[in-house]
Amino acid sequence: MPLVTVLLSFAGLAPADTVLPKRLALIPVPIVYYTPETRLAYGGAATATIRFRRDDGFAAARPSQFTLALAYTQNHQLLLYLPFQAFYDHNRYYAYGEAGYYRYNYYFYGLGQQQLPRELYGVNFPRVRVNAFRRVGAGLGRGRLYAGLRYQYEDYRISSVAAGGLLAGGTVAGGRGSRLTGGGLGLFYDARDNVFFPRKGVVADLSYFIRNRAAGAGPAGETTRFDRYVADVSEYHSLGQHAVLAVNYFASFVVGTAPFNALSLLGGSRRLRGYYEGRYRDQNATLIQAEVRLDVYKRLGAVVFGGVGTLGDDQTPLRLRDPKGACGAGLRFTANRRDHLNVRLDYGVGQQSSGFYLTVGEAF
């Protein structure tokens, strides 16, 4: 779908009165794309921005967001997913996560420093991820500190692999499928001035996943266990009235034997745009990326971005001499003016790789 058509359709769906206080704002988004592994894909998504009745009259109430998306392809593949983030009771409680079912094909590029032709594999899996927090203490400065629990479930049933490929060889953990269950602890710190489009402040999300189980992930189908430590921190700096500098720092370290689909990775619409999601997988990954966000005209904005990431394993925690870099630019259209919720179109370029991304909300 041409970009002009997309933006005009959103203009009709987001009238001027979205600046007025509303408990619910709805943004429908058409889904149409084509890839060799899917052929034509089509569907739709709806993003709802909500303020709960309990927070009526509380001017500082954070908006909550729920997105329901459904897509189907000519190759009979299906994606149904519901990502969400919710603030409740005067921002005392915060939760985010995702529930979904996927019947899809993905590319596998190997692990670590392996350089091998991409392998197409099919998989069916339900996935549930829930992170639930409660505010603790009086906060730090202007920010709010939350503590809570995390849970994840994913029944990764592989339906097909490339003949003679690495997954077919049975040496990759989880290459025949796995059932991942477990959880852990988390801290969340939020000092942003706006949830969807911050102009100043800091947000930090720290995770410790404790001895998660991956049934069937071992070479002989045995259960493996692993820990994961994750830090995801972003800071925002106003560069005058019409520009913002956003910087994101990300680190993920895995200890133990995790299935390949649960390893640390780089690529996708949020981390190192320009690479296929999962183009790089290893036990450890770190990333720093920055983005300059510009107001262009009324609802229209633009961005330029770039980032660099590294990976590592048990022997070399981070291979700093082998960085992965990417950069790009994009357009923004403000569909909900009150909360500054944007529809974004990005184009990223990496090493012999590139990608377009159309979605709702900023990358970080």
* pLDDT given for residue 137 in this prediction: 75
Residue % of the chain over a pLDDT of 70: 93
CA distance 26 to 99: 20
CA distance 233 to 231: 6
Q: Which residues pair with 93 in a beta bridge?
A: 88, 134
Report whether pLDDT(113) > 60. Answer: yes
Please give the structure tokens belonging to residue 261. Answer: 């689909």
Specify the CATH number of the domain 3-360: 2.40.160.50
Rounded to an integer, the average pLDDT of 252-271 is 95
3-state secondary structure of 329: strand
Are 249 and 287 a contacting pair, CB within 8 Å? yes
Q: Which residues contact 294 (CB under 8 A, 6 or more apart)?
A: 242, 243, 301, 302, 303
Report whether pLDDT(1) > 60. Answer: no
Q: Which of 26-40, 48-62, 324-338 has the lowest mean pLDDT?
A: 26-40
3-state secondary structure 196-258: CCCCCEEEEEEEEEEEEEEECCCCCCCCEEEEEEEEEEEEEEECCCCEEEEEEEEEEEEEECC
CA distance 264 to 253: 7
Please give the structure tokens belonging to residue 270. Answer: 């949020």
CA distance 335 to 301: 12
Encode burial over 195-223: b for 16+ CB neighbours within 10 A, e otherwise.
bbbbbebbbbbebebeebebbbbbeeeee
CA distance 330 to 19: 24
Rounded to an integer, the average pLDDT of 243-271 is 96
In the numeric block, the tokens 């259960």 are attached to 223
In the numeric block, the tokens 């915060």 are attached to 94
CA distance 181 to 283: 18
Report whether pLDDT(76) > 70. Answer: yes
- Ordered by start, the domain boundaries in the chain are 3-360
* pLDDT given for residue 30 in this prediction: 85
How high does pLDDT run on average in the chain?
90
More confident residue, 60 or 103: 103
- Please give the backbone phi and psi of residue 160, each rounded to the nearest 5 degrees, phi first: -160, 150
Q: Which of 71-85, 109-123, 170-184, 236-250 has the lowest mean pLDDT?
A: 109-123
Residue 252 exposed, middle or buried by CB count within 10 Å (0-12, 13-18, 19+): buried
Are 61 and 90 a contacting pair, CB within 8 Å? yes
Please give the structure tokens belonging to residue 93. Answer: 């409680």
Residue type, 119: E
4-8-13-18 Cα dihedral, nearest 10 degrees: 100
Rounded to an integer, the average pLDDT of 62-84 is 94
Residue type, 50: I
CA 191 vs CA 76, 132, 139, 294: distances in Å = 44, 18, 9, 21
The string of pLDDT tens digits covering residues 21-54 is: 578 889 898 888 777 678 888 999 999 999 999 9
Which of the 8 DSSP states describes residue 58?
-
CA distance 347 to 329: 6
Rounded to an integer, the average pLDDT of 204-220 is 93
Task: Please name the helix (run of DSSP H) or strand (run of DSSP E) that holds residue 7, with its range, or none.
Answer: helix 3-13
